[in-house]
Every structure is written in C-alpha cells, then in structure tokens.
Amino acid sequence: MKKWTVTPDPLAEAAGPFSRAVRVGDIIYVAGTTALSHLSGDYYARKVPDSIEEQTRLTLDNIRKTVEAAGGGMGDVFKLVIMLKNPAEYMRMNAVRAEYFKDDRPISTCYQASLMREDVLVEIEAMAVLA
C-alpha cells in the first residue's frame, strides 16, 4: 500500500520534525492540529485567539484544508481525537464542532490535556477515509 505525505499549501510548516498529514491508501491521518497551524514564524511568537470557540473553528478549518489537500473533505472524516485544556469548555467546543459535522458525525474521544502552549485551548487529530 502506498504512503505519502500531505502538505497543504495554505498551512505553515509543522512545528516539529513531523508531517502535517500522511495518506496511506485511502486513509488520511492528520496530526494534532491547533489554531496556530495556519500561521508561520516562530511557534511561540504566533498569536492565538482567546476563545475556545474561535480556536476550535480555526483548528477545524486547518483540518479541513489538510483533508482537502489529500483529496477528501470533512464528510470523509470518521474519527477525531480532541485534547482539551479545560473540560469546562467541552460544551462550547462541541457547539462549534457541530457546525462542521451536521449529518455524518465522526466518532471521537476527548481528553483533558496539558498542551504545548499555555494559551492553546484545543488540539485535534483527525482520520478520514476517501470513498
């Protein structure tokens, strides 16, 4: 089975020695993505919005761009792994997520996590299958 790296043009380089996404056959694996993923420059100098809603929206937009660069769309996403800094913001994050997945909702797991920057409130990994 063929494997290749997915590097969407509108997104910045990954903040470490890893790929933004990898496609293996018809499966797309998207690395942990945040509201910072579309910004370039020094990782710790990038500005991130304050609200969980805006961070979730930017994060899911960045995932959408990545999945589209691999030949899919948000309707192809079948699994999300969500790392949330503050569990009290779970319902607010979910309200935004519902905007992206109305009918064909992916399975998901959510963890409370200490993320790489204090001001990053959510990070999401995704998996998609091309039909």
User: Structural domain boundaries of the chain?
Assistant: 3-129
Residue with the two structure tokens 């963890």: 111
Q: Which pLDDT score, from 0 to 100, does residue 3 have?
A: 85
Question: What does CATH list as the number for 3-129?
Answer: 3.30.1330.40
pTM reported for the whole predicted model: 0.91
In angstroms, what CA-CA distances link 60 with 3, 4, 25, 80? 24, 22, 23, 10
Low-confidence ranges of the chain (pLDDT < 50): none
Q: Which pLDDT score, from 0 to 100, does residue 41 have?
A: 66
Q: What are phi and psi of 28, to 5 degrees?
A: -110, 125
Q: Which pLDDT score, from 0 to 100, does residue 73 have?
A: 94
